Structure 1
Amino acid sequence: MARSSLTREEVLEAAAALVRQHGPDALTMRKLAAELGTAVTSIYWHVGNRESLLDALVERTVQEMGAVRPAGRTPVARIVSVARGLRRELHARPHLIAMVHERGLTERMFLPAQQALVHEVHAAGLRGARAADAVRAVQFQTVGFLLVERNRERSPLQRPGEGDLWDAATAEHDPALARALALPADQERLFTASMRALVNGLLATDGG
């Protein structure tokens, strides 16, 4: 039995869930109607045709990405928190982010996070070109790290793997290093550590 009431937001949420799980090609009006337990005509009434629906999903994603907010007591902690939030949000919706990129809205999507970073680097005393470099460095490091993660996730099974390649000899007789490199990377910890090191360098007052 078809649902008697439905909101546009419910339609967009269900459509976004389908895209997140299966990609945009899996999003059809018929499948979306089945997910919502309603008629296809009801979907059209709320969001228009499929292209209009995709446009609405892109706009919704851009708005959601603007929700990244800094947290922490120090400039370094707050900037790192923005970077972590940005990575988390990008990682959670790869198919939707790809749709944003295809529609030429990537720069607009990143603007709120960049503005949050601008505020924090200003609070840390940076101005002008140094501030701009800091904002871009944080953004590029975040996106670049995420691309490496995605590439590793999609790569075929490696033979030999890291655990087979590292021993005391290949690690220059540092067995603790060899053991650590043989283990899977803790990507969240590695991202946070590398971002903190980057930000500490960017905010250094010696200008070096």
Structure 2
Amino acid sequence: MSRTVLTREQVLEAADDLVRQHGPDALTMRGLAARLGTAVTSIYWHVGNRESLLDALVERTVEEMGAIQPTGRTPATRIVSVARRLRGELHARPHLIAMVHERGLTERVLLPAQRALVREAHTAGLRGARAAEAVRAVQFQVVGFVLVERARELAQDETPGRERPRKSASARKDPALARALARPADPERLFTASMRALVKSLLAQGST
């Protein structure tokens, strides 16, 4: 019988599965070779060293994310739509955040969204440094929010059933506030509200 020839895409697919399941630290060339039933030298032949492999995985994931198309009638609503889409893409790929952090490739991952944000900033009348500030503010808000969400998820996994914090004095003075804070946060609603407020403030600069 003829032996199946290993391809670069098969190597990347196996590496991606390994990182999704166990994180970037679990990705070793020897472990990947064992997973594929091949020699370590064959892995190096197809993808180079581990650093090159991680870079290739980031590029592959960015390609999967594809171009981000804004929706909505106004620049503000379209920018919020880009932010929501980017958050969704990152949230669906927690392994990507870890890889990007390890390789210092955050800017590369954000590039598709950045292009859409630049277009909308220009449409809103922002130029130069103001446009750049608006684009970066939106990107930082998205990434920061996703990182907080991820940290909360990991904390809940490690300490399930953790006791809720006690009510503060200010909360006791405002029963409605206390009740609201006692309920679990709605990340989608919170993200959208905060992003709308941020974008409104940023775009107001275009009229000054």
Q: TM-score, normalised by structure 2?
A: 0.78
1:95-153 CA distance string (max 9 Å, x none) = 33333333333223322221210101111222222222211111111122222223323
Amino acid aligned to 1:123: T
Amino acid aligned to 2:164: G
Amino acid aligned to 1:98: A
**Preserved CA contact (<8 Å) 2:124 2:206:** no
C-alpha deviation, 1:172, in angstroms: 5.0
Match of 2:72 in 1: 72
Q: Following the alignment from structure 2 to structure 1, what is the Cα–Cα distance between the partners of residues 196 and 132?
A: 18
Match of 2:136 in 1: 136
**Preserved CA contact (<8 Å) 2:65 2:89:** yes
Match of 2:8 in 1: 8
C-alpha deviation, 1:28, in angstroms: 3.7
Unmatched tracts of structure 1, length 5 or more: none
Q: Following the alignment from structure 2 to structure 1, what is the Cα–Cα distance between the partners of residues 148 and 2?
A: 44
**Secondary structure of the structure 1 residue equivalent to 2:83:** helix
**Preserved CA contact (<8 Å) 1:14 1:32:** yes
Q: 183-192 or 146-155: which moved more?
A: 146-155
C-alpha deviation, 1:47, in angstroms: 3.1
Equivalent pairs, count: 204
**Preserved CA contact (<8 Å) 1:65 1:89:** yes
The verdict on how the C-alpha distance between 1:91 and 1:30 changes in structure 2, with shifts beyond 3 A counting, is same
The verdict on how the C-alpha distance between 1:133 and 1:49 changes in structure 2, with shifts beyond 3 A counting, is closer
Match of 1:145 in 2: 145
Match of 2:96 in 1: 96
Between the aligned residues of both structures, percent identity stands at 75
Match of 1:59 in 2: 59
Matched, 1:119 2:119: yes
Match of 2:38 in 1: 39
Match of 2:164 in 1: 161
**Preserved CA contact (<8 Å) 1:65 1:109:** no
1:58-112 CA distance string (max 9 Å, x none) = 3323444553332223212211111112222222333333333333332233222
Root mean square deviation of aligned Cα: 3.2
**Preserved CA contact (<8 Å) 2:125 2:206:** no
**Secondary structure of the structure 2 residue equivalent to 1:165:** coil
Amino acid aligned to 2:120: E
Amino acid aligned to 1:104: G
Q: TM-score, normalised by structure 1?
A: 0.78
Q: Following the alignment from structure 1 to structure 2, what is the Cα–Cα distance between the partners of residues 90 and 194?
A: 18
Match of 1:23 in 2: 23
Q: Following the alignment from structure 2 to structure 1, what is the Cα–Cα distance between the partners of residues 18 and 70?
A: 30
Task: Specify which structure has the higher proportion of helix.
Answer: 2
Unmatched tracts of structure 2, length 5 or more: none
1:44-65 CA distance string (max 9 Å, x none) = 5543454443332133234445
**Secondary structure of the structure 2 residue equivalent to 1:171:** helix
1:161-199 CA distance string (max 9 Å, x none) = 14x537xx6425433332221011111111011101111
**Preserved CA contact (<8 Å) 2:83 2:139:** yes
Amino acid aligned to 2:167: L
Q: Following the alignment from structure 2 to structure 1, what is the Cα–Cα distance between the partners of residues 60 and 47?
A: 13
**Preserved CA contact (<8 Å) 2:171 2:178:** yes
